[in-house]
Amino acid sequence: MARKRRDEQPKSANPSNAYIEGAGLMVEERITDTLRKNFMPYAMSAIVSRALPEIDGFKPSHRKLLYTMYKMGLLTGARTKSANVVGQTMRLNPHGDAAIYETMVRLARGNESLLHPYVDSKGNFGKVYSRDMAYAAPRYTEVRLEPIAGELFADIDKETVDFVPNYDNTTQEPTLLPATFPSVLVNANVGIAVSMASNVCPFNLAEVCETTIALIKNPEHDLLSTLKGPDFPTGAFMLYDEEELRKVYDTGRGSIRLRSKWNYDKSANCIEITQIPYSTTVEAIMEKIVELVKAGKIREISYLRDETDINGLKLTLDLKRGTDPDKLMQKLYRMTPLQDTVSCNFNILIAGMPKVMGVREILEEWIAFRTECIRRRVFFDLHKKMDKLHLLEGLEKILLDIDKAIKIVRETEEESEVVSNLMIGFGIDNIQAEYVAEIKLRHLNREYILKRTEEIEQLRRDIAEMEDILKDVKKIRRIMTEELKKVAQKYGQPRRTLFYDLTDEPESTAEDDTPDYPVHLFLSAEGYFKKITPQSLRMSSEQKLKEGDTVMQQKNASNRTELLFFTDQAQVYKTRASAFDDTKASVLGDFVPVKLGFDDGERVRYMAVTDDYSGYLLFCFSNGKIAKVPLSAYATKTNRKKLANAYSAKDPLVQILFITEDCDVLLRSTNNRAIVFNTAMLLPKTTRDSIGVQVMTLKARGAKIEEASILTAEQYESMQKYVVKNIPAAGGMAKDLEIAGQMTL
């Protein structure tokens, strides 16, 4: 419930002070009723009267501005200060001069927002591809209408569209503009209303006219055969996707991918970007590239500068020696707005109702709208000609006896009776008699009257033709077709956005953009991980550890190295060295269970380091069994971060060893027996959680494997008496291996 308080007004003895009954009382009202009375009218006003374009291709703010300029005579006259136009437009659009001028800026040629600008501008109007290039104040710039704007107002004075009073009822304004071409598709239009939005991308004028003509002749026409795709003012390349285009044409929703146009200057070793996607700006691109360079993800660019000038957009990237420009641009396309997506949402007002339509339905609606405009124009001209014919038919009767007409006028005593006497004398009606009575004396001669009455036959033929047009919609469509052909011929221009077919590119996997440099990896027994660069390690090599903690593993690797952390719960967590920040020896490092999101109580047992998943892992269990599992068994096509059943959980795990090729391994049990065997005796297991094969026979009750280690060539020579030729084997007594065992660890 909402409480609504009325303003209090005290009673006054003065009758001029109105007293509101019930003022100051708190009235309970349902919140839904409050929304219905207050929010819904606002929402509908934003949708219907502000944010969404109509079938003529304009929002109300655009239409009011252009109509004001048309009435100011700026279609044929000289330019005038923008401030003059803004002030005049406020008679129709009372939303403030700033909003009106911003509308004008977007319609101006200087801003380059539209394929076919409607405002011929002089001065600084900013650029659509620049976020920071501000337009000049309206007192400095000058404007007039472009010639193509004449197509928007063709026959507007012949009642082709409805007119309504302006906001203060002092003048009239059109509800739509009778455009002779589908301007709704020719120029881009973006609007955000309440709970809905609109984003209509632009198409090439000549292609739109050709498609409309084809659709008039054949309603089943394949649009894609003539309307190749959107055409953006900023040019660039469109990644051609026929399936997505047909989706946009059919439903009015979809996305268009645009890619910047560039060239390579070999002499200067730089890339020059000259066209960018319509949906981004130069500043956004530069900021993203700088961010990537600072993060070390792009190392091929030495300098970046904006060289945009009076000749147009130009963004220059200076390259480091040896850089492949094609590979760099592919990387930039993936990582920056140099390749961007334009979303399509063809939401247009039709008879005051918002409707999302495909291109075919929009053109059908426009054809219906334009048909009505032509019909109203023909009807207007028909009545004008009929009125003129009516007057000339009265004049023709006077031709029979001019002297009689003069005599009637001369002998009529009162002026007010001249018309009635002419009506009686020649058998004409009041309108004809008024026309005859107003003829100048110098025109009352046979030559003048004959010339005027010669028009009668032509008028009758024209009237008959117009009546036929009104009866036959095919003739109206024929007129529309001729108008479209003239517009296409007069204002058509080559496409700015060209097509790029991805099927022409060789298939290639995405290049790894992770910076690659040498690092030292450290893992402690408690699960703390450090990634230290060689430079940092040279400055300080003393490792900081928690009390009682020790370094369990140390590896030399690179920043792109794959890391596999095996846990005490038979799981493995996969990541990359690049996922950890570079650190120093003087810090504890990252706690792996927290960093990788281990399960509760889970601890690290081993860290495997690899670049290509070659080699094998030896899982040594306390029961004397060993599983030899290829490291490739942990490689996955998808980017999985966690693998269950990484090894067998049927018996306690003693040690994990990584080998690149077969080597000699020492096993020692709790009852002081040891064997040395070659891993070539073990066959690789295809399943990760295999328990393996028996390698050492444990005869003593309660005996278990307590140590497993890889032997060097020197250690192998000193332990010949423990070498076995076959497995499983019981091994020999190993009391004399206390020191050797510690060395192997």
Residues designated as active site: 140
Question: Could you say which DSSP state residue 618 is in?
Answer: E
Q: How far is CA 164 from CA 15, 349, 662, in A?
A: 40, 18, 91
- Spatial contact of 141 and 125, defined as CB atoms under 8 Å apart: yes
Q: Cα(276)–Cα(293) distance, rounded to whole angstroms?
A: 20
| Helix or strand run (H / E) with residue 272 | strand 270-275
Read off the amino acid at residue 676: V
* String of DSSP letters for 28-43: EE-HHHHIIIIIHHHH
Decide: 289 and 328 in contact? Cβ < 8 Å. no
- Contact by Cβ (8 Å): 144, 70: no
Backbone angles phi, psi at 273, to 5 degrees: -95, 120
Closest CA to 199 of 132, 248, 259, 128: 248
Encoded amino acid at 602, one letter? E
In angstroms, what is the C-alpha Rg of the chain?
43
Beta bridge partners of 305: 316
Q: Supply φ then ψ for residue 397, to 5 degrees.
A: -65, -35
Continuous segment of H or E residues that includes residue 522: strand 518-524
To the nearest 10°, report the CA torsion of 700, 703, 709, 714. Answer: -30
User: Which two structure tokens, joined as six digits, stand for 361?
Assistant: 């339905």
What H or E segment, with its residue span, contains residue 3? strand 2-5
Indicate the residue type of 531: K
Note if the bond before 728 is cis, omega within 30 degrees. yes
- Pull the structure tokens for residue 423: 């009506």
H-helix or E-strand containing 122? Answer: strand 119-122
The answer to whether the CB of 480 falls within 8 A of the CB of 155 is no
CA 545 to chain centre: 50
> Identity (one letter) of the amino acid at 370?
R
Concatenating the DSSP letter of every residue in 318-377 gives: EEPTT--HHHHHHHHHHHSTTEEEEEEE-EEEETTEEEE--HHHHHHHHHHHHHHHHHHH
Between CA 147 and CA 68 the distance in angstroms is: 16
Would you tell me how many other CB atoms lie within 10 Å of the CB of residue 537? 16
Alpha-carbon span 307 to 447, nearest angstrom: 72
The DSSP annotation for 593-608 comes to: HHHTTPPTT--EEEEE
- Residue 672 falls in which region: left (phi positive, over 0), alpha (psi -120 to 50) or beta: left
- Residue 326, classified by CB atoms within 10 Å of its CB into exposed (0-12), middle (13-18) or buried (19+), is exposed
For helices 402-411 and 418-426, angle between their N-to-C axes, nearest 10 degrees: 150
SS3 651: coil
Q: Which of 73, 63, 65, 4 is nearest to 33 (CA)?
A: 4
Rounded Cα–Cα distance for residues 449 and 392 (Å): 9
Which token pair is 536? Answer: 């940092």
Q: At what angle do helices 446-453 and 455-471 cross, to 10 degrees?
A: 20
